[in-house]
Amino acid sequence: MSTPAPLHTIDLIRKKRDGLTLDDREIAFLANGAADGSIPIEQLAAWLMAAWIRGLSLGETRALTIAMRDSGEKFSPARLGKVAVDKHSTGGVGDKTSFLIAPLAAVCGVAVPMISGRALGHTGGTLDKLESIPGYRTALTLSEFETVLLKCGASIVSQTPSLVPADRVFYALRDRTGTVESPGLICASILSKKLAAGLDALVLDVKTGSGAFLRKQEDSQYLAALMVATAEAAGTRTVALLTDMGQPLGRAAGNWIELVESVELLRGHRPAQSEDLRELSLILAGWMIHLGGQAATPEAGYARAEAALGDGSALGNFFSMIEAQGGDVSVFNDPAGFHKPGATEVLLAWESGYIAEMDTTKIGWAVQRLGAGREKAGEPVDPHAGIDFNARRGARVEQGQPIATLYATSAALLAEPIALLKEAILISKTAPSKVPLVGRIFTRENAEAHLRDAVR
Ligand code: URA
């Protein structure tokens, strides 16, 4: 057998730059070079930009996903004795469904090993939100992760240093080089981490609309189908739901305030401003319970999840997971007392009319710049920063009525987010038409066909 010719990064950059397709060995060379530091950062950045501009073929996306998955250690859920199912969202504003879904699916008999991320671009991060609970540890070892899963059925943690190291490098680089919004790169980034967690099944919440990384319906549909086909080819049962990110999900967007809203729902309350969050969480949990073999249909899974919300069992499970990870749940006894933002300002409606449109990406940047997100990787975030919305899309508001309450680290940080919110929110004389919360659903039955027909 002849020895394969040595590979050189410069050749792979030029190949992608010129619109050619890389083979599996070439893709693995790049992923391994990112993981072990043997390829210089500037060459990885150049290749990412070429991939962003030229796009990745289906084969390249699959190869990158697998190579990244295999670039470090992996978790095996075999000893949990249950079907392991996770949910992952492509990123949004006010997206806190994980805090409801993880305990809902866990109490219905599914194991939920959830490896989550931090804020990326304008979107919030599950880990940053959880770390607003005093003592909560997100950086568990894989053996501690397994212990929490055996005890509670769900655990939400960060990537370990050696789990998917290729993504750690690519993710940070993409955030700094304007190469986040690429279907192939997003697919490989998300799925490599999910597949490294050894999942049996996966429910994907693919955001669409003004706050999504890919705003256009057809791009979100392509990403959804791409992720389903890629994960199924790797042996994980996967479904993707296209969901609306044309406004923040629920009432709160920030860190601590998102946990407060979630726990309110887990306590069985149903504030009108949180109804979309409740509904989406039940739909996604219903799919997880179904794919986890605990309900015959997603609808039956929804009904089981709704019962677990009503009887308080999901709340008990969430609190036990927090305690198992070192968190102090007593802060939920007086959530308002714990909430200590440096500065607060109420934004009043500047005219009367209907909230017709929300540019959710701008709203996301406003949340980050209040102190809830970071300018540079590694910076601390303010647990108390964020925005509570008093009025949501479609609401009738009168001039002078509160629209949103902003919480900032300091008064000096309020001006830019207020200006962003005023640009982001359109008040109109006519009521907007209703946008469905969930759009198309992709499964292994329709994903490949969609990819074949999609014009790209
Ligand atoms: N979330 C990820 O983990 N990766 C992406 O590229 C985008 C969202």
pLDDT digits (tens, 9 = 90+) for 220-258: 999 999 999 999 999 999 999 999 999 999 999 999 999
Residues 6+ apart with CB under 8 A from 110: 82, 83, 84, 85, 153, 288, 289, 292, 294
- 315 in helix, strand or coil? helix
Q: Are 223 and 186 in contact (CB under 8 A)?
A: yes
Please write the tens of the pLDDT for every residue from 7-65: 999 999 999 999 999 999 999 999 999 999 999 999 999 999 999 999 999 999 999 99
Cα(407)–Cα(341) distance, rounded to whole angstroms?
6
- 189 CB less than 6 Å from ligand 1? yes
Please write the tens of the pLDDT for every residue from 119-178: 877 888 999 999 999 999 999 999 999 999 999 999 999 988 889 999 999 988 998 899
Alpha carbon of 120 to ligand 1 centroid (Å): 8
Alpha carbon of 90 to ligand 1 centroid (Å): 6
- The full length of the chain comes to 456
- 58 CB less than 6 Å from ligand 1? no
Task: List the alpha helices (DSSP H) in 268-401.
Answer: 275-291, 298-310, 313-324, 335-338, 360-367
Structure tokens at 130: 């959880």
Q: What is the pTM of this model?
A: 0.94
Q: Is 349 a residue whose pLDDT tops 70?
A: yes
- 329 CB less than 6 Å from ligand 1? no
- Name residue 407's beta-bridge partners: 344, 386
The distance from CA 125 to its chain's CA centroid, rounded to whole angstroms, is 7
Three-state secondary structure along 398-454?
Answer: CCCCEEEEEEECCHHHCHHHHHHHHHHEEEECCCCCCCCCEEEEECCCCHHHHHHHC
Residues 6+ apart with CB under 8 A from 369: 413, 416, 417, 420
Q: What is the distance between the terminal CA atoms of the chain, rounded to a whole angstrom? A: 39
Cα(263)–Cα(108) distance, rounded to whole angstroms?
18
Alpha carbon of 41 to ligand 1 centroid (Å): 19
Alpha carbon of 169 to ligand 1 centroid (Å): 12
Cα(33)–Cα(120) distance, rounded to whole angstroms?
23
Q: What type of residue is 149? A: L
Region for 367 from its dihedrals, namely left if φ exceeds 0, alpha if ψ lies in -120 to 50, beta otherwise: alpha
Question: Counting atoms of ligand 1 from 1, which one is nearest the CA of 174?
Answer: 6
Pick the residue whose CA is nearest to atom 7 on ligand 1. Answer: 186
**Residues with catalytic roles:** 88, 167, 174, 189, 193
Cα(152)–Cα(154) distance, rounded to whole angstroms?
5
Q: Which DSSP state fits 455?
A: -
* Residue whose CB lies within 8 A of the most ligand 1 atoms, among 48, 56, 90, for a mutation test: 90
CA-based R_g, the chain, Å:
22
Cα(308)–Cα(379) distance, rounded to whole angstroms?
37
Alpha carbon of 94 to ligand 1 centroid (Å): 16
Q: Is 455 a residue whose pLDDT tops 70?
A: no
- 183 CB less than 6 Å from ligand 1? no
Q: Which DSSP state fits 79?
A: G
Pick the residue whose CA is nearest to atom 8 on ligand 1. Answer: 90
- Average pLDDT taken over every residue of the chain: 95
- Binning pLDDT at 50, 70 and 90, where does residue 456 land? low
- 187 CB less than 6 Å from ligand 1? no
Query: Tokens 């509160």 label which residue?
Result: 402
Structure tokens at 370: 């209040």
Task: Provide the pLDDT for residue 355.
Answer: 98
Phi, psi of 62 (to 5 degrees): -65, -45
Question: Counting atoms of ligand 1 from 1, which one is nearest the CA of 189?
Answer: 4
Q: Are 281 and 205 in contact (CB under 8 A)?
A: no
Alpha carbon of 196 to ligand 1 centroid (Å): 15
More confident residue, 279 or 118: 279
- Binning pLDDT at 50, 70 and 90, where does residue 453 land? confident
Q: How big, in percent rounded to 5, are the helix, strand and coil portions of the chain?
A: 50, 15, 35
Please write the tens of the pLDDT for every residue from 267-277: 999 999 999 99
Pick the residue whose CA is nearest to atom 5 on ligand 1. Answer: 186
Residues 6+ apart with CB under 8 A from 72: 35, 162, 163, 164, 165, 166, 196
Query: Tokens 């057809």 label which residue?
Result: 218
Average pLDDT over residues 214-220: 87
Query: Tokens 């769900």 label which residue?
Result: 154
Beta strands across the sheet bearing 201-208: 85-89, 201-208, 237-244, 438-442
- 41 CB less than 6 Å from ligand 1? no
Please write the tens of the pLDDT for every residue from 280-328: 999 999 999 999 999 999 999 999 999 999 999 999 999 999 999 999 9
- 238 in helix, strand or coil? strand
- 3 in helix, strand or coil? coil
Question: Counting atoms of ligand 1 from 1, which one is nearest the CA of 180?
Answer: 6
Going from the C-alpha of 154 to that of each of 13, 95, 172, the distances in angstroms are 41, 18, 27
- 94 CB less than 6 Å from ligand 1? no
Task: Provide the pLDDT for residue 1.
Answer: 61
- 184 CB less than 6 Å from ligand 1? no
Question: Counting atoms of ligand 1 from 1, which one is nearest the CA of 213?
Answer: 7
Alpha carbon of 99 to ligand 1 centroid (Å): 19
Cα(345)–Cα(264) distance, rounded to whole angstroms?
23
- 212 CB less than 6 Å from ligand 1? no
- 116 CB less than 6 Å from ligand 1? no
* Residue whose CB lies within 8 A of the most ligand 1 atoms, among 189, 195, 206, 230, for a mutation test: 189
Please write the tens of the pLDDT for every residue from 396-424: 999 999 999 999 999 999 999 999 999 99
Q: What type of residue is 403? A: I
Q: What type of residue is 249? A: L
Three-state secondary structure along 156-198?
Answer: EEECCCCECHHHHHHHHHHHHHCCCCCHHHHHHHHHHHHHHCC
Task: Provide the pLDDT for residue 124.
Answer: 86
* Residue whose CB lies within 8 A of the most ligand 1 atoms, among 120, 122, 167, 181, for a mutation test: 120
Alpha carbon of 190 to ligand 1 centroid (Å): 5
